[in-house]
Amino acid sequence: MIERRNFYIDGAWVAPRAGQPCEVIDPSTEEPFAVISLGGQADTDAAVAAARAAQPGWAATSKAERSDLLARILGLYKARAEDLAQAMSREMGAPIDFARTSQVGAGAWHIKGFIHALDMFEFDRPLGSHAPGDRILMDPMGVIGMITPWNWPMNQITLKVIPALATGCTMVLKPSEIAPLSAMIFAEILHEAGVPPGVFNLVNGDGAGVGTQLSGHPDIDMISFTGSTRAGIAISKNAADTLKRVHLELGGKGANLIFADADEQAVQRGVLHCFQNSGQSCNAPTRMLVERAVYDAAVETARAVAETMEVGPADREGRHIGPLVSATQFDKVQALIQTGIDEGARLVAGGLGRPDGFNRGYFVRPTVFADVTNDMTIAREEIFGPVLSIIPFDSEEEAVTIANDTEYGLTNYVQSQDGARCNRLARRLRAGMVEMNGASRGVGSPFGGVKRSGNGREGGIWGLEEFCEVKAVSGWHE
């Protein structure tokens, strides 16, 4: 049993002041394999106090000093890549090869992206030639409370910690208590890289405890949260009394619009993307909207892809999907699959229960529903499992209407060889991001959504600006 009971506060690993034990469960076996401590108010207060004391000194450092620190972090991150992969695979069920490439790779990609963005970022800017005595200063936001999820641990931690460091902020990180071990390895990386005491602090805890304490803390200037829409609403309400800035990256119900002229790999690509990370991604294209002329063929392709998708334990090498993260998540997904059946969707692949050969572990059968209507529960709620809903449409106008008819607005997808149509749809789809024909977003592209998918943007220049206050100065002397 792995014991990780300490918190990282003011540059050192310290025993919790009010910690309660919490088991970390291996989702492939349903067995506990590690024990951490959940912090209490005294632990949160100590971490916030350390961050508050360190903030003026860190804010006074130069851009060059911060850039050098990020470069050291990147080198150490790469050196600890296997440790991070093993931790994430065990704690949240990512197959080990996927953990090595995508889960660990996402963090390295973001660190490199922020090093590049910081090089271009101007903290001191002229307002314009019309006002030569006016300057715009981008000041550090201050002390940041960070609450990160279990589904992409390093992706979300690096999207918050690295830009905060780059802009002169100090911070307290509360990683998910479900997947905390990779975050503690990341804290070791920052310590070895030479992050000054108090600049970065880590306190393990749950949302009701440390999460609530951070969002309502008077000495926290901003909360950066990634997780469920339900939790995001609760955090916003709790933060309101202190008028702190709240950045939210929340759920999604992405629509993937596939037209008759889409390339021959479009359906397969959409199914694989939906099932990536066992469907536990907020930007997953879980609603596949297909033009009527190619609908039947698309359903058949989706069925075939799902039925050939392998499921296996996280420690097995190879290309397959692993378990869901927890019993709670497993039960939720099973209930939503049953709801899809009860509401009349046509089950064409997968369904209830574990895949053949599994009698334990939170494994789910890759599932495809056809003939879904957009008012069905499986088309409205974020399932967060390997479940795809296929919906037919007859016209571009109808496709846009269906796609936008959702409470969410994170990522939508378009598959068509008609460039003019793609560009029209990119403007009309109400989402923070639109990806077309399998093209990935470039380094520095902002990540974030609208409506119940949250507010603010992470990544690149926009990600740095999220951690800055804008100060307007007149009468500037050159």
**List 22, 169, 274, 282, catalytic entry:** 282
User: Could you tell me which of 119, 92, 116 has the C-alpha nearest to residue 104?
Assistant: 92
Segment holding 393, helix H or strand E: strand 387-393
Active site annotation includes 282? yes
**List 249, 382, 435, 466, catalytic entry:** 249
Describe the crossing of helices 63-79 and 104-120 by its angle, rounded to 10 degrees. Answer: 160
3-state SS, one letter per residue, for 31-53: EEEEEEEECCHHHHHHHHHHHHH
Please state the separation of Cα 282 from the chain's center in Å. Answer: 7
> How, if at all, do strands 31-38 and 20-26 pair?
antiparallel
Contacts of 458 by beta carbon, 8 Å cutoff, 6+ apart? 159, 160, 163, 247, 249, 446, 447, 448, 466
d(CA 148, CA 157): 6
Active site annotation includes 249? yes
d(CA 68, CA 364): 44
**125 token code pair:** 């800017």
Please state the separation of Cα 367 from the chain's center in Å. Answer: 23
Q: Which residues are catalytic?
A: 249, 282
